[in-house]
Structure 1
Amino acid sequence: MAAETSRKCTCLSFLVKHRRCVLMQLSVCLVAAGVLGFGLIGVPTIREYWNTREFIPTTCTVEASVLDTNSSVSCRHTESAHRGGLGHNSSYPCLTVRVVYRPQPKDNGGDEDRSTGAVLYMTYYSYAKSPTDREQCSLYVCSHDRQHNVDHVLKFRDSHAKIGQRFACFYNPDAHDVTLLKVTSRAGLTHALLWPTLVLLLGLAVGVSVVCRCQVTDKVKELHYRLRRPNGAHDTFTQIEFVRLKPNIAA
């Protein structure tokens, strides 16, 4: 009977330890995912939101578009981290889309009818990565497959480079020659920061819960050992309690 009880206790202890290991692994994975998500999504989103926070919505009309098919823009495609962060050279064709728009009167010297010409960029990232030694490129795309880059540029040309085409865009009141097709909104910034933060906090909560539970379990085991040793003898605390209660029992 004692052997069976000991075997059950050993099995239960193994299951408890296994569950703790699983929870700690889950905690580490969640924390790593939260940090990785914040680094890959949160930080770039913060940077893009900060640089485009002053952009003002307007309506752009395509005035001209030029696709340079004779030469390509060189870029370096970075491989994933598990390959050591190495990369190789790639290229993409340069598409320049020129648009006209009407800034707000306060940004246009009070003239409501005067239009301003500018280069349209897909995002602020495309604007920041555009080469400065040649015609500005409206779209930056740099995958390891050059044909994929070409297809992506052609798709953008078909959707946003037709002469006379009108669509919503954003202009910089401090630099009227730059317009963006997309900017990061506050809602987008909130989502980019909220979900990685929640995953990170959840992982920390799971880890702290496991550690606290382990500490409580260790204290309970220590107290149980002090109150009742394996040889059946009671420790000093139990004897003191018995002596203190003995007169009441005799009475």
Structure 2
Amino acid sequence: MTPSPTAATDWRALGTSVRLVLFTVVVLLGIAVRLRARVPGLPRFGTVSLHRALSLSATAFLVLHIATAVVDDYVNITVVDTVVPFVSDCQPLWLGLGTVVLDLMLAVLITSLLRARIGHRTWRTVHRLAYASWPFALVHGIGIGTDNGTSWMTWLTVACVATVLAAFAPRTAHALRDARRHPRHPAPHGRRSPPVTTTTAPATPTLDVDWTACQAHGLCAGLLPDHMRLDEWGYPIVAKGPIPRAALKRAKRAAADCPVLALKLRSD
């Protein structure tokens, strides 16, 4: 039995609204993780876990939404149109923006699965693309949505935009404070860097992070604030070089207290 045009339109309207809400919540949770905020009733690492779960849910719903659009008889969308942006015969601009969202989310998902192989820095760079998926999804829904004339969808869109903009204000302020706290001062032109002194004392251990195990609980940074900090997703960034002897006891405690034992002390 072929679905009626009204049923198909209602499904696309539902898909647009649910997708917008899911992506908005994922962005808000990502900002909360960066600010090390807590969702009421959850510990801080629970916010990270919720962020991951909803990110996967948003990606799965996006794939389902696209799959139903491909099999829908009322819309001429091919499989190629879903992965290659701006080549569709049906509203190429608006549909292409949705394709870009899918490509970005798949890039984040694949690099997350391969994080241990590609390195945390590469993963972090690609993961920042997830922020771009929200405005693309928003514009895609506005341009191609069949229910944008309804008052409930207008208010939903306004509410999502206002909420994200309000959340980005403390996020931007936090980034500016972090930049002032960890400035990058290049050496003045023509001036040599001070020589590195060597000692004969035995080397103190260094900290290594097992990225296949780390789940961004953030406990280690709390114990070693002078030697490591958390990135915008709660993963530790360890300072280069050996651990100061005064912090060695706290470093051992951080390695022992890590819930997933992802922090290792290594002696050269």
TM-score (norm 2): 0.22
- Of Structure 1 and Structure 2, the greater strand share is in 1
Query: Which fold has the larger relative contact order, with Cα–Cα distance below 8 Å and residues 6 or more apart in sequence?
Result: 1
Bigger Rg, which one: 1
- Of Structure 1 and Structure 2, the greater helix share is in 2
